[in-house]
Structure 1
Amino acid sequence: MNKISISTDEDIPPDFISSLPENAGIYAVGGAIRDAILGIPSRELDLLVTALPLDKLTKILRRWGVAEPVGKSFTVIKWYPRGKFRAIDVSIPTKRDKRVSSEGNPAMTVEEDLAGRDFTVNAIALDLRTDELIDPFGGREDISAKVLRAVSKNALSADPLRCLRAVYICARCGLYPDSATLRQIEASAPDLADIAPERIAEELKKIVLLPKPSTAFRLCRDWGLLPHFLPELTACEGVTQEGGWHAHDVFEHLMATIDSAPPRLAVRLAALFHDIGKPARRKYIPERDRAIFYGHQNLGERMARKALLRLMFSKELAERVAVLVRFHMFTQAQTDKGVRRFIRKVGVELLDDLFDLRFADIEAQGTDRDKRPDEEFRARIEKILSEKPPLSYKDLTVDGNDVMRLLNISAGPRVGEALEHLLQIVLDEPSKNDRETLLKIIESMKAEGA
């Protein structure tokens, strides 16, 4: 066996390993070992512990922090060591086959556990007591050859989510599956439709945040995976955009946009979905050799929200992405009043994401479009924000209690309508946002029977 060293000091308490029973094996496994061999930073640390039942292992882990078993088929404990920066997945050996129920078997050897893993590059373990590298399936050799190879002929059918994991590994590590593994991926692709959507979402998050997500999505397309988890994206292939604004079809434009967007989840997802409504809204005008897509941003908003909720992303994230899609076609306001109304409509909290999406969209058009108008508009917004104008109900110098008292009404929709009326007034003329002026306006509303 060969030796390799990875640092666990930032993740594992210094006396934890020595506190385990002598007969218990403890190994770093999976992606952390693969990444160490490749010489790239790892986002994860997974541990495998042998010869300890799950309940005893959980008790030991809880001496050093918070430990909670997770998952139904695979036996994993999510461990949060005290004073450390990230959670660690700790597991006991199991067959790792989603088709059968498995509670894990601490009597299994590390080699038997590795035999149930997905790819040889992930079926490598580092003994944390001896620093010995355990590589029964030639994963290190496959890494050197830039090959992704399934551990067994049933590795993908055992858990079809591994198809997306293959995409992630290949895109991140520069590997490519051998012919037998690729056949497994293509054969298991339809079974993605039966995978719990939240599991797909976790893999999609990792893909979206890659340095170059387009590599992964093109693999999803080429291997026949897209129709089974993101059919909306498949529909964008080959949808041309005549007219001079875009150098690419819709699919390739989305790929270029997501690559150009900064690696924040909401912005990357918005980049992926921002033109998702174009295929259904495309209308070609032959005499002008131009394609138009009226209303695609509104349809795209609905499609993005629906797709993200289908994949069990949080409602908050789905809404944030949907709003970014809706407003990605914004036009620059010409007056200070218009700028304030734009800020109110979009929301201060979304401005940075919206402009990052806009600049990525422009970059991805491939037509050398001038960014300066948008940069100038962004600067105008910053100037307006520095003046701290009233932009929401909480910025008003009156509140709902004042409205109810002066209009003699109870809490309900009419209070909100009155506050919205006041806000619209001060958006146009911020100088009117003083308490005396607004109280008089409320009184006039009562006199007018508003």
Structure 2
Amino acid sequence: MTTHLPEVALEVARAVRAADARALVVGGWVRDRLLGRPSKDVDLEVYGLPADQLRGLLSRFGSVNIVGESFTVYKVAGIDVALPRRESKIGRGHRAFEVSGDPAMTPAEAARRRDFTINAIAWDPLKDEYIDPFGGRGDLAAGVLRAVDPRTFGDDSLRVLRAVQFAARFEFTVERGTFELCRRIPLDDLPAERVWGEIEKLLLQALRPSLGFTLAHDLGLVEQLFPELHALIGCPQEPEWHPEGDVWIHTLMVIDQARRRIADLNHPRQVAIMLGAVCHDLGKPPTTAYLDGRIRSIDHEQAGVAPATSLLDRLNIHTLGGFDVRTQVLGIVAHHLKPLAFFKGDPRAGDGAFRRLALKVDLELLARLALSDCLGRTGSFDCSGIEWFLERARALGVEHQAPEPLLKGRHLLDMGLAPGPRVGEILRQVYDQQLDGAFTTLEEARALAKTLTAP
């Protein structure tokens, strides 16, 4: 696959050249071009042109948005244009840098501030020439993630998490010296949103996120950042049902299975499924015991809600795009065994049970996670019951949400019932029977309400 540079970027590069300066494409776009991957974010670095002249030049191409004057970064026509910049560490924290643009820098000087060699390659689009002062193309070919400058790599602790998600996304190994650097860098200065930003890329952009979680464990990051996940390591499972090993191994397999089942979903639902996979068995460590010669984790689904809540708190996960991701993740954790339990003849699995379960979690998301859970093992297991569960939910029209109550408070007030707690009680009783399928029309709901309000 060839990654094509947007025409506007070429036009900017030509205008810069006409001003006796040079524009280079830098960063992830160049890396992705060399890997044959699609890339949409274009960054141009302009050498030999002062900031005021650059801004005037860019104004020919449309409205120029200044991202940060100290960074000298401009957004125009969908691309980012910047001067090469110098960074000096002035304190603790991933943002504690003094940054200044310097058009007199060389490409090699500018590339030294990059995190990994594969991200430190520049490309001249007018000459089709690569500037690669740190051997990034060789590392790309070898599948190696290597720090550009070991002396300054640790200045930004976020780079450790970037190593994790890059290694998983590109299925690269981490060079030994870089690995040791990452192990020594504390991450307690990172805010939740920055941690989540890298974990989100790991979960949604890597085809096998388990590679990143395995690396995170090897680097000591799981214990440092996610004690709830660290507790899964070494937690045993009954070999008959989980021949793959402990809960950690199973969870990584489930995460990879879930990743295969999200391509057709929108972003918030993708996040819900992937976090559901991460959290689904967090309740096993506190509930696992040997009973009658077998390993059991009774009620681990409900026991998992508290540690899942802690993990979501740490990542500051709530609502995304108007979709309540947190509620869905916790619902998945609490009910991930229900699809197969319903199929196997749970006596409570009537139509009403499906409708009530839909009050707590999106049943299609639940089914996708349950299938990932079933397949996230070694050995051969029959998972066909989950398709039955989803078909039944669809037949009832509750695969995404429970039915709306037919009877509303205004209907009871119209019937002469005085406002007060009694209104809520009757609405709950009527809705409960609606969920059981006792009636399907508003008239029937009114009739039932009359019997409940009769003296």
Structure 1 gaps, min length 5 = 82-86
Q: Which amino acid is the alignment partner of residue 402 of structure 1?
A: H
- Between stretches 37-46 and 142-151, larger displacement belongs to 37-46
Deviations 1:117-150 (CA, angstroms, capped at 9, x unpaired): 1111111111234332111111112222332221
CA contact (8 A) 1:399 1:419 kept: yes
2:430 is matched with 422
- Between stretches 56-65 and 378-387, larger displacement belongs to 56-65
CA contact (8 A) 1:49 1:90 kept: yes
CA contact (8 A) 1:257 1:363 kept: yes
Q: TM-score, normalised by structure 1?
A: 0.84
Q: Which amino acid is the alignment partner of residue 390 of structure 2?
A: R
2:267 is matched with none
1:307 is matched with 311
CA contact (8 A) 1:118 1:155 kept: no
2:163 is matched with 166
Quickly say closer, same or farther: Cα 1:343–1:73, change in 2 above 3 A: farther
Q: Which amino acid is the alignment partner of residue 116 of structure 1?
A: R
Of 99, 109, 112, which aligns to 2:109? 112
Deviations 1:312-364 (CA, angstroms, capped at 9, x unpaired): 23343222211111110112176898234323423497122111101110011
1:409 is matched with 418
Structure 2 gaps, min length 5 = 263-269
Of 329, 336, 340, which aligns to 1:328? 336
Quickly say closer, same or farther: Cα 1:80–1:138, change in 2 above 3 A: same
How big is the shift at 1:230? 1.7
CA contact (8 A) 1:28 1:47 kept: yes
Deviations 1:365-403 (CA, angstroms, capped at 9, x unpaired): 33422112222232222222299998222xx1x422112
CA contact (8 A) 1:235 1:279 kept: yes
1:436 is matched with 443
Quickly say closer, same or farther: Cα 1:348–1:99, change in 2 above 3 A: closer
| C-alpha distance in structure 1 between counterparts of 2:85 and 2:51, whole Å | 12
Provide the aligned length of Structure 1 versus Structure 2.
Answer: 427
2:266 is matched with none
How big is the shift at 1:89? 5.0
1:84 is matched with none
- Between stretches 20-29 and 326-335, larger displacement belongs to 20-29
Q: TM-score, normalised by structure 2?
A: 0.83
| C-alpha distance in structure 1 between counterparts of 2:84 and 2:421, whole Å | 58
1:294 aligns with 2:298: yes
SS in 2 for 1:242: coil
CA contact (8 A) 1:297 1:325 kept: yes
| C-alpha distance in structure 2 between counterparts of 1:323 and 1:305, whole Å | 11
Q: What is the alpha-carbon root mean square deviation over aligned residues?
A: 3.3
Quickly say closer, same or farther: Cα 1:436–1:193, change in 2 above 3 A: same
| C-alpha distance in structure 1 between counterparts of 2:115 and 2:400, whole Å | 55
SS in 2 for 1:104: strand
Q: Which amino acid is the alignment partner of residue 194 of structure 2?
A: R
CA contact (8 A) 2:255 2:274 kept: yes
| C-alpha distance in structure 2 between counterparts of 1:59 and 1:420, whole Å | 66
| C-alpha distance in structure 2 between counterparts of 1:418 and 1:134, whole Å | 74
Q: Which amino acid is the alignment partner of residue 160 of structure 2?
A: C
How big is the shift at 1:220? 0.7
SS in 2 for 1:309: helix
How big is the shift at 1:299? 2.6
| C-alpha distance in structure 2 between counterparts of 1:337 and 1:389, whole Å | 17
Please give the residue correspondences for 1:30-429 in structure 2 after superposition, counting only pairs within 5 Å.
Answer: 30-42=27-39, 44-50=41-47, 51-53=49-51, 57=55, 60=58, 64=62, 67=65, 69=67, 79=75, 81=77, 88-96=79-87, 97=89, 98=94, 100-107=96-103, 108-188=105-185, 191-209=186-204, 210-242=206-238, 244-247=240-243, 248-261=245-258, 262-263=261-262, 264-285=270-291, 288-315=292-319, 316-330=324-338, 331-332=341-342, 338-347=350-359, 350-385=362-397, 391-393=403-405, 396=406, 398-410=407-419, 414-429=422-437
Quickly say closer, same or farther: Cα 1:56–1:30, change in 2 above 3 A: closer
Quickly say closer, same or farther: Cα 1:332–1:158, change in 2 above 3 A: same
How big is the shift at 1:54? 8.5
| C-alpha distance in structure 1 between counterparts of 2:101 and 2:429, whole Å | 66
SS in 2 for 1:47: strand
CA contact (8 A) 1:359 1:371 kept: yes
SS in 1 for 2:23: strand
SS in 2 for 1:102: strand
